[in-house]
Structure 1
């Protein structure tokens, strides 16, 4: 932004309309210079808006803007040790906890749908923080409209089964009913059929992934970290944030936590921003 502003302000316009640069520079025409000035002004306005929103919601710093989505999507493979028998041979959905990228981004995912916090919706829209939802019907059916409003804000709604069972304890037929049944609910209520599925408790077997594939699922993202109101849990030994990490949290409030969803988001955003990370949209990398 500073470079653009410097370029725009380092030129003077003559009577003919041509821009007269400093000695030794090639002349620029007035329209490009004005375009650069407009772009610089837009960047300054967007930054000011992020700072103001961060202040309203009690964040220590303004969220960092995410980089543009990659033009070439990374290849997603199943994490080593997370495979099932004949995983590749059967073409089953990859199970992964991070996305391969060098960009300093993380992905926020939120599970189940128990809490319907209106302030959370306002906060995420105001701060322009992307996230991905994995929903279970038995928890969202009391207020489908809440998640419709979420979808209208650009959030992708994905599959977390009908009743949130421990899938490995079920037959293939019952697992398929749980997964395909939730596909049907989301399609009926929200007009789309998800391609992302997260097994409850992160527990699955070959039947789970076979059933998910038969229902149209292409990816089975798990998580590398989990954030709560009062703590942060890690899967890796170094207990740190890495580029491409998928972070899990839940739709929870004071009934289950010592705080609210906005409290949890403050903890999450303050930590990743302090470490120089932005929140990106998971679907943009798949």
Structure 2
């Protein structure tokens, strides 16, 4: 049975209109989604230091990622049960439920929670949870100001002096420490250990807990041949983007794996990518760690040649220097320059009067 010609024409016209509406909706929504994933960025100055962050302007209020507050020294966590971001600084503790225009503030004197209002609700985006900066900062007891001429936002935390980051040993003696990150592995680590053994030189290995689990015998060899250890987290995350409880979990899990494997718990820590926040520094200090960075970055992770690595070392070395290299196979051949350069680094710095020591020994000689 066929429909009358007029009815067929009617359905065709209706179908065409519906198709145009669908295409229009797609064309309008696609740019909106693209814009959401390309949020603007700007520096916010925390105690004079510019911290670059994404932001959203909502009803005249500056919204920033909740994790940005780690830059102020605040602990930031997520409560999945109540879908809330939890902020803690000293005795101040409060939670911001996502999508709600209020906070739940803990009152230590009563042991109960008290509800307070927000100027605008927190919001969830593809880039994380965003919170109203002014409200949160004021609750933390900090000062926030805006300079309209410079178009800059300033936060004054009023927090105490931060634990120092160690970039080199404070010594006039010609001491130098070789350090290797990200291992152990079964490819580059044994080659490096062979060279160090042949040259009679100690080094410090900042190990990942995951790699220690994969290569426990290589880890034992590092220790048995007289080298020192440092904690480099379990899975190598950028700590700036990690909730506080997970930062603690990464570090503790690595300590447990190291102790289980070789019976030691190092007190040295190096953050992945050399990146960490004020909050992370305070937590690591509370956990008893000394945070070790470097003064000579060989950039070997870029696949540098032995010649380029040697050039960097000779350019940047000084008494008390800490040399950064890596010992994890990620891309075939990427760290071949590291292995090729190592015996030359040792021989050439020896010729300049340098003595190779572990980071611990270097710090013991520092004044």
Q: TM-score, normalised by structure 2?
A: 0.49
1:226 corresponds, among 284, 287, 297, to: 297
Point out the more displaced range, 109-118 or 175-184: 109-118
1:275 matched to which residue of 2? 352
Correspondence 1:215 to 2:292 = no
Deviation at 1:114, TM superposition (A): 5.2
- Partner Cα distance (1:97, 1:163) in 2: 23
1:244 matched to which residue of 2? 320
Say if 1:234 and 1:258 are closer, same or farther in 2 by CA, change over 3 A: closer
2:253 matched to which residue of 1? 181
Correspondence 1:132 to 2:204 = yes
Residues 171-226 of structure 1, C-alpha deviations (whole Å, 9 max, x = no match): 11111111122111112221111100000000011221233234331x10100112
1:155 corresponds, among 227, 230, 246, to: 227
Correspondence 1:101 to 2:160 = no
2:217 matched to which residue of 1? 145
- Partner Cα distance (1:255, 1:232) in 2: 18
Residues 122-176 of structure 1, C-alpha deviations (whole Å, 9 max, x = no match): 3212211111010112233221110101101111221000000000111111111
5 Å-filtered alignment, 1:1-286, equals 93-113=163-183, 115-116=185-186, 117-217=189-289, 219-227=290-298, 228=300, 229-230=305-306, 231-232=308-309, 239-252=315-328, 255-257=332-334, 259=336, 261-286=338-363
Say if 1:186 and 1:223 are closer, same or farther in 2 by CA, change over 3 A: same
Match of 1:246, SS?
A: strand
Quick check: 1:110–1:132 contact (8 Å CA) kept in 2? yes
Say if 1:266 and 1:235 are closer, same or farther in 2 by CA, change over 3 A: closer
Greater relative contact order, per chain length (Cα 8 Å cut-off, separation 6+): 1
Deviation at 1:115, TM superposition (A): 3.5
Quick check: 2:213–2:257 contact (8 Å CA) kept in 1? no
Say if 1:121 and 1:235 are closer, same or farther in 2 by CA, change over 3 A: closer
Match of 1:95, SS?
A: coil
Q: TM-score, normalised by structure 1?
A: 0.62
Quick check: 2:309–2:341 contact (8 Å CA) kept in 1? no
- Partner Cα distance (1:194, 1:272) in 2: 27
Quick check: 2:204–2:227 contact (8 Å CA) kept in 1? yes
Higher strand share: 2
- Partner Cα distance (1:195, 1:155) in 2: 14
Unaligned runs of 5+ in 1: 1-80
Say if 1:252 and 1:264 are closer, same or farther in 2 by CA, change over 3 A: farther
| Number of equivalent positions | 202
Q: Which has the larger radius of gyration?
A: 2
